[in-house]
Amino acid sequence: SQQPTHVWSVAHQAYWTMRLKDQPQSVLVSGESGAGKTEAAKIVIKYLAECSTHHATDSDRANASGITQKIVQCSPILESFGNARTVRNDNSSRFGKFMKLQFSREGHLCGAFTYSYLLEKSRVVGHGAGERCYHSFYQLLAGASAEQRDRYRLNDPSAFDWLFKGFPPTDEQRAADAQDYRCVRDAMDVLGLTAEEQDAVYRVVAGILHFQSI
């Protein structure tokens, strides 16, 4: 075919090649910044979950659906701590990601592992003109509750001006960051992170903010 490759078609071929040949298959999602790699990966996962359980029992289908939900909920967390605004893309992944999906002998999606690598560490402490650091910093400042602000010593946002030197804040952006912060917190709940574990994560984020402001 001369038509562009379709995500569903690639996922379908990979799944049935795995089933018929009983061999692991790989799907490579590549492209330049802003091409839609993250969204394409989500579509592949959802399609595989649906395709693999089309003729499954209700319990197997529910299990696959639960796994898919957890995989999808990983995205807001990974994007919060690994994505940033660049001059080319408002939500650019600054790391590589390898996801391994597991299927049962019956071909049902039953597990998943996600490995990240090559994180752009320099962006933790700096960014260029027209860009931002990782989303998690801005989300915490915009979305933390009064109690969380007090706990993390974030009551004076002006102390963190270095965050906004590349891209001045706007009311619209602050509202979006606050909403994303709530989405990340909800995703952490779905994945089973306890309140103590979530607090430990954001204590580190707050600590980096304070270190950079010294």
| 169-181 tens-digit pLDDT | 899 999 999 999 9
Whether the CB-CB separation of 124 and 134 falls below 8 Å is answered with yes
Helix (H, G, I), strand (E, B) or coil at 21: helix
What pLDDT does residue 41 have? 87
The strand pairing partners of 208, in sequence order, are none
Helix (H, G, I), strand (E, B) or coil at 114: strand
For the stretch 186-199, pLDDT in tens is 999 999 999 999 99
Q: At what angle do helices 58-82 and 37-52 cross, to 10 degrees?
A: 170
Whether the CB-CB separation of 86 and 30 falls below 8 Å is answered with no
Whether the CB-CB separation of 82 and 95 falls below 8 Å is answered with yes
- The model carries a pTM of 0.84
Whether the CB-CB separation of 113 and 64 falls below 8 Å is answered with no
> What sections of 22-113 are H helices per DSSP?
37-52, 58-82
The residue among 67 and 211 whose pLDDT is bigger is 211
Percent of the chain with pLDDT over 90: 52
Helix (H, G, I), strand (E, B) or coil at 1: coil
For the stretch 147-171, pLDDT in tens is 999 999 998 877 898 899 888 889 9
